[in-house]
Amino acid sequence: MKVLSIGNSFSVDAHRYLHQLARREGEDLYCVTLYIGGCSQRTHYLNMLDDTDSYALQVNGTLTNLKTTIREALRSEIWDVVTFQQASHQSARFETYTPYIQELSAYVRKYCPEAKQVIHQTWAYEDGSPKLEAQNFATSADMFAAVEKAYAQAAELISADGIIPAGKAMLIASQTGIEKIHRDTFHASLGAGRYLLALTWFKYLTGRDITENAFDDFDVPVTDEERKIVIAAANAAFA
pLDDT digits (tens, 9 = 90+) for 115-153: 999 999 999 999 999 999 999 999 999 999 999 999 999
**pLDDT band with cut points at 50, 70 and 90 for residue 232:** very high
Provide the 3-class DSSP secondary structure of residue 232: helix
Cα 108 from Cα 115, distance rounded (Å):
8
Phi, psi at residue 68, to the nearest 5°? -155, 170
Instruction: For 24-68, write each residue's pLDDT tens digit.
Output: 999 999 999 999 999 999 999 999 999 999 999 999 999 999 999
Cα 36 from Cα 107, distance rounded (Å):
19
pLDDT of residue 142: 98
- The domain in which residue 171 lies consists of 2-236
DSSP state of 189: P
For 44, how many CA atoms within 13 A lie in the half-sphere containing its CB? 33
How many domains does the chain contain in total? 1
Full-model pTM: 0.98
pLDDT of residue 7: 97
Q: What's the maximum distance between 2 C-alpha atoms anywhere in the chain? A: 48
**pLDDT band with cut points at 50, 70 and 90 for residue 4:** very high
Residues of the chain with pLDDT > 70: what percent?
Answer: 100
Report the pLDDT averaged over residues 65-92.
98
Report the pLDDT averaged over residues 174-179.
95
pLDDT of residue 126: 97
Q: What CATH number did the domain enclosing 192 receive?
A: 3.40.50.1110
Q: What is the mean pLDDT of the chain?
A: 98
How many C-beta atoms surround the C-beta of residue 70 within 10 A? 24
pLDDT of residue 66: 94
Residue 64: in which H helix or E strand, if any?
strand 62-68
C-alpha dihedral over 12, 63, 231, 229, to 10 degrees? -80
Residues of the chain with pLDDT > 90: what percent?
Answer: 100
Rg (CA), the chain: 17
Instruction: For 150-162, write each residue's pLDDT tens digit.
Output: 999 999 999 999 9
pLDDT of residue 168: 98
Range 118-146 burial, b when 16+ CB lie within 10 A, else e: bbbbbbbbbbebebbeebebeebebbbeb
Cα 208 from Cα 168, distance rounded (Å):
19
pLDDT of residue 132: 96
**pLDDT band with cut points at 50, 70 and 90 for residue 182:** very high
pLDDT of residue 193: 98
